[in-house]
A and B are shown apart, each in its own frame.
Chain A
Amino acid sequence: MENDRLNDVLYNVAESVLERLAFIFSVPAENRDEIPVDSTDASCVSFSGPFNGSVVLAVAGNALSEIAENMLGLPEGEGLSLDQQHDALKELVNVICGNLLPEIAGKQAVFNFDMPQMTTEKTPSCNENNETKKSLAKLDLERGRCDVILFANDYIHQYLSSLPAESE
């Protein structure tokens, strides 16, 4: 029940932010394999608050350039630097995380966010400290794929069960 709700919210927020920030229409792809985070471009942002965790955004295929070019309104194959493409991916995960937490935890909840980073930067690393995968959204884009993963510690369960049934 709780997991279903988390999954629905994650898909909704990820699809909506991709559309509104990057003008990309994505299609849920629940049946395909997960993108291996360790061997691909992935950005992440850690947060702390009523529960702690992080959101990871992993991309495969040509999704990295698709996202960066779309955010900047540039045509395909514009040859953006890797730095610019990573900047776009970091800002995208930042906005996804900022929109996700109030949807999950309610608008009264206060969270602190770390700076978004690429998972390869590891300074400090996302999803350390007993945080486990709580939800995953797999989306297909036009030129590639992206996965959005929510990691959190187990306080999330306590916190969510303490919320009134119809939270904002």
Chain B
Amino acid sequence: MSINVLVVDDSSVMRTMIIKTIQMSGLPVGRILQASNGREGLEQLNQNWIDLVIADINMPVMNGEDMIDQMREKTETKDIPILVISTEGSKTRIERLKNKVKGFIRKPFTPEIIRDTIIEILGVNDHGE
């Protein structure tokens, strides 16, 4: 079974870095889709089967936290595991985010932390099923 991943970040360079990291992680990755803000992310979620969302927070049009809140309101998307990869450094904000998502990684990241966190998340969720 392979996992479909949606990567939401306003920086195309950052999306490429994250995608390369997952492709090299040895994880059973299927399709990898991209979006450059929260609104595009929600559109991708409407149109595709996604097992894991990797999301930035600071984005134009719709930020990551609003996207996460809207995902949680819809039956189809409310149980999709989310990993936030962000520059956020405030303790209060990180704690609030951690309550809404399965994992939080601060930029810059190492490939190992991304791989280990994804394994942890999908282990708990058994491939989003």
Contact = CB atoms under 8 A, between A and B. Distances in A.
A21 B87 CA distance: 12
Given A17-B108, A72-B16, A95-B108, A115 B60 contact: yes
Nearest to A80: B13
A113 interface: yes
Given A20-B108, A72-B17, A73-B20, A115 B89 contact: no
A107 B17 contact: no
Contacts, number: 62
Interface residues of B, number: 23
Interface string A67-102: 010011100000000001001101100110111011
Contacts of A108: 90-92
A152 to B, nearest CB: 16
A51 interface: no
Given A21-B107, A94-B58, A95-B108, A84 B92 contact: no
Contacts of B20: 73
B10 A115 contact: yes
B110 interface: yes
B90 A102 contact: yes
B13 A84 contact: yes
B88 interface: yes
A110 interface: yes
B90 A71 contact: no
Contacts of B86: 98
21 contacts: A20-B110, A21-B107, A71-B13, A71-B17, A73-B17, A73-B20, A88-B13, A90-B11, A98-B87, A98-B88, A98-B89, A99-B87, A99-B106, A101-B89, A107-B89, A108-B90, A108-B91, A110-B90, A110-B92, A113-B58, A115-B10
Interface of A: 17, 20-21, 68, 71-73, 84, 87-88, 90-91, 94-95, 97-99, 101-102, 107-111, 113, 115
Given A21-B107, A97-B87, A110-B90, 14 more contacts: A71-B17, A72-B13, A73-B17, A84-B13, A87-B12, A88-B13, A95-B107, A95-B108, A99-B87, A99-B89, A99-B106, A102-B89, A107-B89, A110-B92
Q: Across the A-B interface, give the 3 residue pairs with the lowest CB-CB distance, nearest first.
A: A98-B87, A102-B89, A21-B108
